[in-house]
Amino acid sequence: MKFFDYIKIALKNIWRQRVRSSLTIVSIVIGSLAVISVLSLVFGAQKVFMDTLQAEGSFTHVMVTPNQENLSGGGGPFGGGGQEVSDSQKKIDDALIQKIKTINYVTDVNPAVRIWNLESYKAKGGNGKKFRADVEASVPGKATEKKIIAGRDFTKEDGNRKVIIGVNLLESLGYKDPQDAVGKTIIFTTKKGYQGEGAQLPDFNSDNKESWDKLQEQATELEAEIIGITSPPGPGSNGSVFITMNWARKIMSWPNMKEDPVKMEAYKTRMETSGIRNWDMRNCQDCRTLTYESEIDRQGYHMAYVQVNNPDNTKAVSEEIKKLGVGTITAEDMLKMFTQVISIIAAVLGAIGAISLGVATIGIVNTMVMATMERTREIGVMRACGATRKIIRRLFMFEAAVLGFLGGTIGILTGIGVSKIANYYINRMLASQNMSAENVISLPLWLIVATLGITTFLGLISGLYPAFRAARLDPVEALRYE
């Protein structure tokens, strides 16, 4: 018999028992669809992550963190910030920034900090709804350049009360068009006990402890002008609100009364010469000056973004920066970590899908064993007419393989249809957030071919026992079977 003769007979027998065969095929469809859905979503997410990194130019960026051992520290797109510098961390200050700038292939270095003492923000004159503040400040430059779609980016001349917001915040703040938001005002609410720029502080020369205790329960509102709208965060940030570094220094600071020894000594002499008793140094208004100490100056920046001239040089630059005693994170590091996580997820979810295929395999075995029993007399006639055991085995194995092939094909077609529908709605949702990622769920050709091959192979394997059982039937006994 020729190859296509086996296929023709297999299809004929499947159609003859179409109800039972359909149920078996449905089980294969469910199993293959489960595998395809899970793996296509996992690998699609990996592709979107890779494309996003490439589109944002992240492969020419290196993020510097204070902690050389824990690369998950720091801020920006790879972690949180605003932590106390420990013994295992190196202070990222202007001196270190200058050293990094001297490394070969480095085109720019821009430090950044996460603002921890701003709790929420709202639109001035809006509905009053507040949103959690995720604020970052950075020195403007090539490494922190933003994708401005309305207004402008920061310049080094920008001072206080200037802010850039992400386009994904427009709808929440009540703006329909990016250009409408430029020039408007948003109001930040600080955490309780805030003592930085704009806070109403009690008189330092008084003993009013109640006023200072009350300050610990008060929050301060700070107004800022929106000067620009940026597309969804790219290199240099994982936040949606950005302020200038000049303003950040004043926000992340606390007041301190600096004493003037010369004036204090002069005041003391004057009081003693005048014969005044029970005088108090706190009454000397000129002896102390109110100053502010910046957390950034004391602890350093939370991270720094390094721009490299070519993606091929990123790894070399990263290694040179590590020699300075700090940690680094590159897009390749993130991609590697993401791939490891994705691989684990794919293995776990793929195993669940494999269980479904295993159940479908048992269904094929059951269907083919039933077919063997029902067609015992037919097998006897074929053997009497000259069919060899080899031919009988092939007939049943081909029939089982065709069941697997049909189930896999329908599962793949269903998966393609589901993925197109899902991508349509996902793309619409992303577009509403002004995000350009498309086709999060993708079906690579290798996955289609692999799924089809696996289902066909499982069908073939499932038909081995029924095929050998049918081939071993005694022709004489088979012809007598009723």
How would you write the chain as a 3-class SS string?
Answer: CCHHHHHHHHHHHHHHCHHHHHHHHHHHHHHHHHHHHHHHHHHHHHHHHHHHHHHCCHHHEEEEECECCCCCCCCHHHCCCCCCCCCCECCECHHHHHHHHCCCCEEEEEEEEEECCEEEEEECCCCCCCEECCEEEECCCHHHCCCEEEECCCCCCCCCCEEEEEHHHHHHHCCCCHHHHCCCEEEEEECCCCCCCCCCCCCCCCCCHHHHHHHCCCCCEEEEEEEEEECCCCCCCCCCEEEEHHHHHHHCEEEEEEECHHHHHHHHHHHHHCCCCCCCHHHCCCCEEEEEEEHHHHHCECEEEEEECCHHHHHHHHHHHHCCCCEEEEHHHHHHHHHHHHHHHHHHHHHHHHHHHHHHHHHHHHHHHHHHHHCHHHHHHHHHCCCCHHHHHHHHHHHHHHHHHHHHHHHHHHHHHHHHHHHHHHHHHHHHCCCCCCCCCCCCHHHHHHHHHHHHHHHHHHCHHHHHHHHCCCHHHHHHCC
C-beta atoms surrounding 470 within 10 Å: 27
Query: How far is the CA of 419 from the CAs of 50, 364, 440, 443, in angstroms?
Result: 20, 27, 9, 8
C-alpha–C-alpha distance, residues 435 and 453, integer Å: 36
Sorted by where each begins, the domain ranges of the chain are 3-54+337-480, 67-322
Model pLDDT, residue 235? 42
Model pLDDT, residue 205? 58
Model pLDDT, residue 234? 45
Model pLDDT, residue 7? 79
Q: Is the dihedral of CA 58, 60, 65, 69 positive or negative?
A: positive
pLDDT score of 251 more than 70: yes
Model pLDDT, residue 478? 63
Read off the pLDDT band of 79 (50, 70, 90): very low
pTM, to two decimals: 0.69
Nearest 5 degrees, angle CA 271-CA 276-CA 279? Answer: 70
pLDDT in tens, 157-205: 888 899 999 888 888 888 888 898 999 999 999 988 888 888 887 766 5
Model pLDDT, residue 396? 82
Model pLDDT, residue 413? 92
- Average pLDDT for 252-276: 79
Model pLDDT, residue 224? 93
pLDDT score of 392 more than 70: yes
pLDDT in tens, 426-451: 877 766 665 655 677 778 888 889 88
pLDDT score of 75 more than 70: no
Lowest mean pLDDT among 208-222, 260-274, 409-423, 431-445: 431-445
pLDDT score of 263 more than 70: yes
pLDDT score of 385 more than 60: yes
Read off the pLDDT band of 305 (50, 70, 90): very high
pLDDT score of 376 more than 90: no
Q: How far is CA 154 from the centre of its chain?
A: 26
Mean pLDDT of the chain: 81
